[in-house]
Amino acid sequence: MEGVAVIGIAQHPFGRFGDKTALDMGLESIREALQDAGIEWKDVQYAAGGTRDGGRADQLCGKLGPNGVPFNNLYNGCATGGSSLGAACMAIKSGIADIALAVGFDKHPRGMFLTTVQDYGLKQWYQDVGFLATVQFFAMKAQRYMHDYDITEDSLIRVAEKNYHNGTLNPKAWRRDGLNYEAIKNSTMLSNPLRQYMLCSPGEGAAAVVLCKASIAKRYTSKPIYIKGIALRTRAFGSLEVFTPAKPLEDAPTPVVLASQAAYEMAGIGPDEIEVAQLQDTESAHEIMHMAETGLCKDGEQTKMIQDGETKITGRLPINTDGGLIANGEPIGASALRQVYEVCLQMRGEAGLHQMPKQPKTALTQVYGAPGISNVVILSR
Amino acid sequence: MQKQVPIDADLFTWPAAEPKLKANECNDCGNVIFPINTACPKCGGTSLKDIELKTKGTLWTWTSQNYWTKGLNDYKDPKDFKEYFIGYVELPGQVRVESRLLVNDASELKIGMDMEMVIVPFRVEPDGTETMIYAFKPV
């Protein structure tokens, strides 16, 4: 089957941008990604884009020169950007496009993501008693995992501290003040064991990626990055997921495990070959759990890895080198594409202050969101 | 005595001398389903029978809601917000149920501890009716 190459990347900074619309951020990202690839909008034969609160993605065509291009509007919770990338990949693999584009952008109000019981097939009592808050799920999964694998608050603090530090090195990150260990440790407890500065916040931003058939990539760039594996998975019966009034007694692999396994299989690359990873750190406990769910370590190995600094930019297996969601916030539509942008920078050797000492050959990106959906991408140069 | 009504008529038997959570058991695969549903999430079967859940179990995991935020609409006035605890309680041989936990402090909770189900008042409606919910408390 046809391979897929990344030939253009762009990211609008993440953060808060006043009256600037998400559509305008998306538009800037598309223009920059096209420029990076050395092509024009008319060269794009398929596009996919998504956003939660930013408008209609295909509305962007209006300012680029509407040309009837097939443009899929996609929304898949926190996996939206990954789903857009997946759709663009499939368009190339199927042969309907030689060049495709994925874009994501968003602009969320401050505070918790609001949702409704109807969206999740639940009844009103579930919200009335105070269960319709995603942080509770992340906290309860973390509480159980920390109990099972002897992980302490120290590791949660260290992960957040690392990601804030990486954010200070990344000019596009939202939080660049490098919150330290004490500040995180003393921040307000929100949902035990999660404290305020261990969590990411909804924010604003955009990112875009231009793809082409691997066989023609060298026409556009001297540094193509190849998408070796990409997989989207939902939940299997038995895993603990967001907004579930009851969990079966039997356990099951999470959507992250399922998506990772499928992506590794597609790539023909194993977890031991991954040299950098961007993982969904909705809060620091989930960076820790996702390390194991993506197969990058075994359950329980995280404490020592974190203590030894293995996941720092200078470590053996850097994770969230751009600061992750903790330092960048989460504009949902753009989040997964921000991860892809970052690992492409690392593999091209263009990450500036947050560049790894050794330019990585392979990378993994992973997102997870409600109600239990994950997208994993494996890339190589 | 105040009139007391369940927050949702499908959640638990009420009024009852010994109230129980209402659930389904799949006639095809035996899976226990809470709250009651029209299909089995394990096998997709639609032949379900009504059962009641055990009232005693153990704490499987927990957390706290320490802050008020828009969307937690059980407290109309943020000033009345009081921290609460939730968790999953494992009912042996059945299912793990998400529930409010009746404790005042995180130090009272430990994974694996014995818990039992109770029906408690949750809020008072304008006409004086008490709305009741299920919750679990340490034994």
For residue range B108-127, list pLDDT tens digits in order. 999 999 999 999 999 898 99
pLDDT score recorded for residue A346: 98
Tell me, yes or no, if B53 comes closer than 8 A to chain A by beta carbon. Answer: no
CA distances from A195 to A164, A189, A259 (A): 14, 4, 29
Residue B96 and residue A246: Cβ atoms within 8 Å? yes
Residue of B nearest to A193 (CA): B63
pLDDT score recorded for residue A2: 81
Instruction: Calculate how close chain B gets to A220, using CA atoms only, in Å.
Output: 48
Residue B77 has pLDDT above 90, yes or no: no
Q: For residues A72 and A371, what is the distance between their CA atoms, to the nearest angstrom?
A: 22
Q: Which of A111, A144, A246 sits opposite B98 (nearest CB)?
A: A246
* Residue at A195: amino acid letter: R
Tokens of A7: 């030939």
ipTM of the complex: 0.96
pLDDT band at B74 (very low <50, low <70, confident <90, very high): low
> Which residues of chain A fall short of a pLDDT of 70?
1
**Cα A290 to the chain's mean position, in Å?**
12
B58 CB-near residues (< 8 Å, 6+ apart):
B89, B90, B92, B112, B113, B114, B115
Contact A140, B87 (CB under 8 A): yes
**Best residue of A120, A128, A129, A249 to probe chain B, by most B CBs closer than 10 Å:** A129
What are the chain A neighbours of B42 within 8 Å (beta carbons)?
Answer: 237, 248
What are the chain B neighbours of A133 within 8 Å (beta carbons)?
Answer: 65, 69, 71-72
pLDDT score recorded for residue A1: 67
Contact B53, B74 (CB under 8 A): no
pLDDT score recorded for residue B76: 67
B31 CB-near residues (< 8 Å, 6+ apart):
A248, B25, B40, B41, B42, B43
H or E stretch including A137?
A: helix A134-149
Give the total number of structural domains in chain B: 1
A80-94 and A332-348 helices, crossing angle to 10°: 60
Of A69, A145, A62, A74, whose CA–CA distance to A103 is shortest?
A74
| CATH code assigned to A4-110+204-380 | 3.40.47.10
Q: What is the pLDDT of residues A203-244, one digit of tens each?
A: 999 999 999 999 999 999 999 999 999 999 999 999 999 999
Residue of A nearest to B8 (CA): A125
Q: For residues A63 and A150, what is the distance between their CA atoms, to the nearest angstrom?
A: 53
Residue of A nearest to B63 (CA): A192
Contact A73, A58 (CB under 8 A): yes
Residue B20 has pLDDT above 70, yes or no: yes
Domain that holds residue B19: 4-138
Tokens of A80: 């939206």
What are the chain B neighbours of A123 within 8 Å (beta carbons)?
Answer: 8, 10, 35
Tell me, yes or no, if A123 comes closer than 8 A to chain B by beta carbon. Answer: yes
Residue A91: what are its φ and ψ, rounded to 5°?
-60, -40
Tell me, yes or no, if A116 comes closer than 8 A to chain B by beta carbon. Answer: no
